[in-house]
Structures are given as structure tokens and as C-alpha cells.
Amino acid sequence: MKKEKGSGLNNSLICLHMFLYNFKLGYVINGYFDIIIITYKINNNGSVYMELKKIVDSRNVIERVKRGSIAEEMNIEPGDILLSINGNKVKDIIDYKFLITDEYIEVEVEKKNGEIWVLEIEKEFDEDLGIEFTNPLIDRAKSCRNKCIFCFIDQLPKGMRETLYFKDDDSRLSFLQGNFITLTNMSDEEIDRIIRYRISPINVSVHTTNPELRVKMLNNKNAGKLLSILKRFKEADLKVNCQIVLVKGINDGLELERTINDLSGLYPSVESVAVVPVGLTRYRENLYKIDPFDKESSKEVLDYILNKQKELMDKIGTRFVFASDEFFVMAGYPIPDFDEYEGFPQIENGVGLMRNFEYEVEKELKYINNKIDLNKSYIIATGTLAFDFMCRIRDMVLTRFNNLKLEVVAVENEFFGKLITVSGLITGRDLMKKLSEYKGFDGVIIPKSMLRSDTEVFLDDITVSDIERELNIRIIPAEVSGKGLINIFKRGE
């Protein structure tokens, strides 16, 4: 969305080119996406008039230059604009990564003062220039064209932060930050480009390989072409990790068997598959009717997956398909051993998080030779899913610290509904309400995953300081790692 001519003049100034009787001003008009270049001209009669000359893209604006990098050596600075590499316009981050992969490149940069520099750079073949862009994608993020029957975003209540409603489905985000994509909004040219540029690994939300069922689940007529695209990736020797959001009575049972058979047939291109239960909030009015998994149905899923792992281990030498921790907790099954996760390829999907965390805590505690005397008391706040697990972690911690009072508190998710049990979706208000029942602790440890990345803001825009002020208690956000937790006790924060 672009603002009309003449508006937004009080937005921050980005660049300034000045000529005699004719100067250009650039303004950020729409977040970091657009710059409107406004030209002020002076008529023969001396009056000044404003002309909307052109709209240029601010997406190639350099935001950061790494210390000691080639870019710094070349005097490239934040605010400069990357215009081209070897005469080619840089459309997006994939273009950028591809175009800089050479030993000699010519980089055209527009400096903040409007000068155009052409820099001849000799470097190692795959050496990065050391620049980061205002928009990491250098392009608009592609939104998804699906209307999945289980979409979590469709189940958000109204009135939340606008960015939470954005449905991305962008292969560049898969490449950059591991987002899962459905491949339903990509043209043949874009698939060709992934193959040509060898973008890998790609994270794909599969859900099912049955074309008709996938069209139905994703509500998208293009969704049935998935297997043919995955076969092309296999021919090109690209690596793919897959995710299945399992919906009871829809893509489980024989459909899951079919999907796993199809995907394991594409091994080693398809490296692993995560199976996660559908997340259901209490805001599902007018949406597809979906029943949640319970203890019995979770057991059925796990019995199938654990057997399939054995079969695939014999056949292709890997367990290949992994169930998320949530299934194990719901079924009451023990979490698999560390080695059974084969290096945790799907940990971002909640597959093996608990086992890996426990392993890290054990490792950190081994470094403590003599028991540490602490004289402190903390609450560890978590979602209901991890309550029993965190109680086990607490017991482990208490073996290495004296005078430490640790209480694990499960926060029920009233905001999204009780079926949402993970700690990463707990809101500030729910946390505050639960903590108001407790008094006399030195601090409350929460996982950083409860907060928006690199901020102190919860999903409902309540901040850590809000809770601290309201309850007069310290909140201590911990890195989601064994080290992150144990360091809090070691430092006696």
C-alpha cells in the first residue's frame, strides 16, 4: 500500500540529492518498503512546485555493514543503496546471494549523497560482502494463497498486532530462516530458479501427498502438484525437510501411511518428516470442524510412527519420520532417547525439544563440582504441556544447588483456549493472572520463546515491565537452552 502524493512528509528522511533549482527528497512512506521521490522545481516565474517524479524501492537499502567485511573496506555505509551486481538488478536476497558468488564482481552502489559508485571487487568465490539490508528479503514477502482448514492464523482473535495476521508462504523465508512453505504459490519459473540457484534445504509443509486431499486441506487447486515438484527437487539433488500437521480423521491413519511411503520414496532428497498435531484455539466459529487429539488417538499415531521408524531404519537406514513432543506428552509415552532423534533435524517443529533440553541441563550440571549455595527462590513458569517435564528438570537442578527454592508453575492458556498448551503461546495477561497467586519469590523464570523475538513483549503486547510493575516481582527471560537456565542459578540472578 503506498500513500498518495504529498502525504507522509513528516516521515523519516532517507536520502537527499540536491541539484541547482531541482532537488529530490526521499521519504519512507510505508514502513521500509517504499520511497517516494518528490522533486521540487522552480518555475520560470520563480514559484516552487512539487512533482512526484518516481517511486523507487527502498528494499535494497543497506542497513548494516559488518566490521572487517569487504563492504567496510570499500567504504559502503548504512543508508547506501545497492543498485546492481555485474550489471544485474538485484530482485531479492536469492539474486543477491547468487550474484555475489564469484571471484570478481562489479557492484553498483548509490551513496547517501547521490553519487553512483561502481566498485570492482576481487574476493573468495563464496565470500559474502558483509552487508545486511533494511528488508532482509530485498523484496516483499509472498503471502500464502491457501485457506488451510487448520490454519492457526484464522483462529486468532480479532484485535491482535497486525503483523500476527500476515500469512507468509515464501521460499526465500524458508531459505533464510527455515520457514515452512507449501509450494502452492510458485510458478514454474520460480521452481526453476530454486533448482538453478540450488536453494537447499527447503522446508515444505506437506500435510498429505494425496493430491485431492491436499487440495481439500489447503483449499487451493494448485496444492495437488506437490509430489511432482518434490520429484524435481530430488532429480536436482536438493535437500527437503517436511512437516505434516496431523488432523484427526483427515490425514491420519491410511492417509498418513500413504504420505510417509511417498516421502520416504524420495529419500535422501527428502531428509526427514515431522508430524505435529493440529493446534486448535477457542476461536473456531465458522471454521472447518476439527476434533483435537486426545490420549487414545495420540497413542495410535505414535504406535504407527514408532513402528514405521523401525521399518524405515531397516530399509533406508534412518527413522526418517518423527513425532513432535506434544504427541508423547498427550499419549503419556516416554520421550525417546537422545540418539533416537538422529541429530534433531526437526527440533524447530517441537520434535525432540524436551530430550535435547534435558541433555543440555545434564551437561551443564556436570560442570558444577561442588554444590552451590544460593539462598534464592524462583518460579519457573511454563505451559501446561511441559509441566511434568519441567518438574523433572527442577529435581535435577536441586541436586546441585543448596538453599534454592524452585516452584514450577503451569500457566493455562485462557487467551487461546486450554487446548493450546505450549509455553510459546502464553500471553502476558495469562501469565500475570497465574503469578498473582504467588508471593515471596526472588524472580520468575520464563522461556524467551514467550516473548516476541529480541523484545520484552508478549503476544498480547503486555511487556515484561508491565508484569514486574503490576506484581512487584522480577521476570527473568531465559534462553531456551540448558545453559540459559542453569546460568540463571549460577549467577544467582
Binding site for ligand SF4 (CB under 6 A): 144, 146-148, 151, 153, 167, 169, 182
**Identity of the residue, 147 or 376, whose beta carbon is nearer to ligand SF4 in the bound complex:** 147
Instruction: Answer for the pair 108, 117: CB distance below 8 angstroms, yes or no.
Output: yes
Contact 55, 75 (CB under 8 A): no
Closer to ligand SF4 by Cβ: residue 107 or 151: 151
Q: How long is the chain?
A: 493
All 3 cell numbers of residue 92? 531479492
User: Helix, strand or coil for residue 226?
Assistant: helix
Which is closer to ligand SF4, CB of 16 or CB of 153? 153
Residues 6+ apart with CB under 8 A from 378: 404, 405, 406, 407, 441, 442, 443, 444, 445, 476, 488, 489
CA angle 302, 304, 307 (to 5 degrees): 100
Rounded CA-CA distance 445/433 in Å is 16
CB of 455 to ligand SF4, least distance (A): 23
DSSP structural state of residue 168: B
CB of 245 to ligand SF4, least distance (A): 7
Minimum CB distance to ligand SF4, residue 144 (Å): 3
Helix (H) or strand (E) holding 410: strand 401-411
Q: How far is the CB of 380 from ligand SF4 (least distance, A)?
A: 31
277 prior amide bond cis, ω within 30: no
Closer residue to ligand SF4, CB minimum distance, 92 or 169: 169
**Residues 485, 491, 493: CA angle, nearest 5 degrees:** 80
The smaller minimum CB distance to ligand SF4, of residues 185 and 318, is found at 185
Return the closest-CA partner of residue 322 out of 230, 214, 242: 242
219 vs 318 by CB, closer to ligand SF4: 219
Least distance CB 207 / ligand SF4 (angstroms) = 9
Residue that the C-alpha cell 526472588 belongs to: 442
To the nearest whole angstrom, how small is the minimum distance from the Cβ of residue 148 to ligand SF4? 3
Nearer to ligand SF4, 243 or 309 (CB): 243
Task: Retrieve residue 474's grid coordinates.
Answer: 522480577
Q: Which is nearer to ligand SF4, 219 or 487 (CB)?
A: 219
Calculate the alpha carbon distances from 49 to 6, 28, 41 in Å.
Answer: 12, 21, 5
Shortest Å, Cβ 248 to ligand SF4: 17
Residue 107 or 137 with smaller CB distance to ligand SF4: 137
Q: Alpha-carbon distance 207 to 148, whole Å?
A: 10
Q: Which residues contact 70 (CB under 8 A, 6 or more apart)?
A: 121, 123, 127, 128, 129, 130
Name the minimum Å distance from CB 185 to ligand SF4. 9
Least gap, CB of 287 to ligand SF4 (angstroms): 11
For residues 182 and 269, which CB has a smaller minimum distance to ligand SF4 in the complex? 182
Grid cell locating 19: 541539484
Measured from the CB atom, the residue of 178 and 317 that comes closer to ligand SF4 is 178
Cβ atoms of residues 385 and 423 within 8 Å: yes
Q: CB-wise, 151 or 274, nearer to ligand SF4?
A: 151
CA distance 448 to 458: 10
Which residues 6+ apart lie within 8 Å of 168 measured at CB? 141, 142, 143, 144, 179
Query: C-beta of 156: minimal distance to ligand SF4 in Å?
Result: 11
Q: Give the 3-state secondary structure of residue 476.
A: strand
CB 385 within 8 A of CB 421: yes
| Cα gap 222→245, rounded to integer Å | 19
Place of cell 527428502: 270
Supply the minimum distance, in Å, between the C-beta of residue 280 and ligand SF4.
Answer: 13
- Residue 172 CB, nearest distance to ligand SF4 (Å)? 16
